[in-house]
Amino acid sequence: MRGRSRWRNFAKRGHCVRSRKPLPVVVRACAKLNLDLTVLGVRADGFHDLRTVFQSIALHDRIECEPREGPFAIECSTVGVPLDESNLIWKAADALWRSLGRRGPVQDVLVRLEKRIPTQAGLGGGSADAAATLAALARVWQMAASPEDLADVAGTLGADVPFFLSGGTALGLGRGDEIDPLDDWPRHWVVLLVPGFGVSSREAFGWYDAWRDGGGSPPERRPDMVPGPWPPGTVRMMNDLEGPLAVRYPEIEQMKAALRGAGAFASAMSGSGSTVFGLFRARREAQAAVDALSGSDWTVILTESLTRSEYARQCRPVTRRRRGAATGVDGNSSVAATGENQFRSYATPVRRQGSRR
Query: Active-site residues: which are they?
Result: 32, 160
Q: Around Cβ 200, how many Cβ atoms within 10 Å?
A: 13
Residues 6+ apart with CB under 8 A from 25: 64, 65, 136, 137, 139, 140, 317, 318, 319, 320
Question: What's the CA gap between 195 and 300, in Å, rounded?
Answer: 9
CA distance 38 to 258: 24
**φ, ψ of residue 219 in degrees (nearest 5):** -65, 155
**DSSP string for residues in 157-223:** T-TTGGGGGT-SEEEEETTTTEEEE-PPPPP-EEEEEE-S----HHHHHHHHHHHHHTT--------
Under DSSP, is residue 236 helix (H, G, I), strand (E, B) or coil?
coil
Give the span between the Cα atoms of 114 and 111, in whole angstroms: 10
Contact 174, 163 (CB under 8 A): no
Q: Which among 161, 233, 173 is positioned nearest to 41, based on CA atoms?
A: 173
Q: Which residues contact 19 (CB under 8 A, 6 or more apart)?
A: 142
Backbone φ, ψ for residue 99 (5° rounding): -65, -20
Q: How far is CA 316 from CA 58, 134, 185, 268, 309, in A?
A: 13, 12, 20, 29, 10
78 vs 32: CA distance, rounded Å: 20
DSSP class of residue 253?
A: H
Evaluate whether 206 touches 278 at the Cβ level (below 8 Å).
no
Angle between the 283-293 and 251-261 helix axes, to the nearest 10 degrees?
130
Largest CA distance in the chain: 62
